[in-house]
Amino acid sequence: MAVRLMFPTYIFHRNMLNAGENRGFAKDYLLLLQTEIDSMRRKDPKGRQVSNQYTGWQSNDGCESSPIFQKLMNEIITTFNDEVLPFNGLNPNTAKVTIGNSWANINDKGAWNVPHSHAGCWYSGVFYIKADGDEGDLIMFDGSEKVLSEFPQSARTNNNFHFSPTSGELVLFPSGATHMVEPNQTDKERYSISFNINMTYTDSNAHLSNIDNYNPNEFVFDLDQNGNPIMS
């Protein structure tokens, strides 16, 4: 029997810490970003409250305008141009990506973020500056109802996915993907930068997808005798 994966949510993620090939970041740069965020919090100890709860600190927008964050912003745009745009059949020469807004987060013990999505952009994302993977997972939720009754739960029918991010992790997700952050149960502070990505087009056809050698059956697979996918 063939199984077809329909309407997937595409989430791109990679650890950018010393990624190689002149890409990514050294630990010293992440430490510089952490120091800058500490300075931002000293100047504005209250911060703002949007999705952050309890003692979680969030800065106002504007990290994309700070010289210290420019290397990070440039790398996010480069990664988006090199991987996300081609995956969607878009040309980075005519589909221009910019960081619309970005803000800093510090989640200390007990801090968490309520389920939310990001309106007004195509993709959103988060980059983890200081994280050990145990300060509360980033959880992505399946927002569409598949079955309108009780059904047997399995690992293949979960309606959420957990990321346990560590320093250097970059996660890009569609703006409509509902997500939250679990409470930090440790005594450590996790530092991250969140952002929204804007898209503008330089000609009237730039938004049209043109994926070379696209295969409409790329997410169709058969099952083996144990019910597991046979991936060619």
| Domain edges within the chain | 9-206
Is residue 98 a contact partner of residue 76, using CB atoms and an 8 Å limit? no
Which residues make Cβ contacts (< 8 Å) with residue 198, sequence separation at least 6? 97, 98, 99, 100, 121, 122
Catalogue the E-assigned strands of the chain: 2-4, 12-15, 52-53, 57-58, 95-107, 112-116, 123-130, 138-141, 160-163, 169-174, 179-181, 190-201, 220-223, 229-230
pLDDT tens, the chain, 232 aa long = 899 999 999 999 999 997 666 678 999 999 999 999 999 999 999 999 999 999 999 999 999 999 999 999 999 999 999 999 999 999 999 999 999 999 999 999 999 999 999 999 999 999 999 999 999 999 999 988 888 898 888 888 889 999 999 999 999 999 999 999 999 999 999 999 999 999 999 888 888 888 999 999 999 999 999 999 998 7
User: pTM (2 decimals)?
Assistant: 0.94
**What gap in Å lies between CA 173 and CA 125, rounded to an integer?**
6
Domain 9-206 maps to which CATH number in 3.40.50.970, 3.40.50.1820, 2.60.120.620, 1.10.3720.10? 2.60.120.620
DSSP 139-198: EEE--S---SS-----GGG-SEEEE--BTTEEEEEETT--EEE----SSSPEEEEEEEEE
